[in-house]
Amino acid sequence: VQFSLLSMGDSQMELKDICDSLGIRLISYSPLGLGMLTGKYTAANLPAGP
């Protein structure tokens, strides 16, 4: 499940709480917002996209 500092909302926190209460480990990806929070991208060096 994508669980990023950029996309943390109520639904992500609710999912984590449910998994915790059921003893299920939540495996997440992209904790740094697909590289947006790593310092790799700047205003002058934005990733290509639509």
Instruction: Identify the pLDDT of residue 35.
Output: 75
Look up the pTM and report it: 0.53
pLDDT tens, residue order, the chain (50 aa): 777 777 777 888 898 899 999 999 988 887 777 777 787 878 788 777 76
Instruction: Identify the pLDDT of residue 30.
Output: 76
Instruction: Identify the pLDDT of residue 17.
Output: 92
Contacts of 27-36 with CB under 8 Å at 24 or more apart are 27/1, 28/1, 28/2, 28/3, 29/1, 29/2, 29/3, 30/2, 30/3, 30/4, 31/3, 31/4, 31/5, 32/4, 32/5, 33/4, 33/5, 33/6, 33/7, 34/4, 36/6
Instruction: Identify the pLDDT of residue 18.
Output: 95
Instruction: Identify the pLDDT of residue 21.
Output: 97
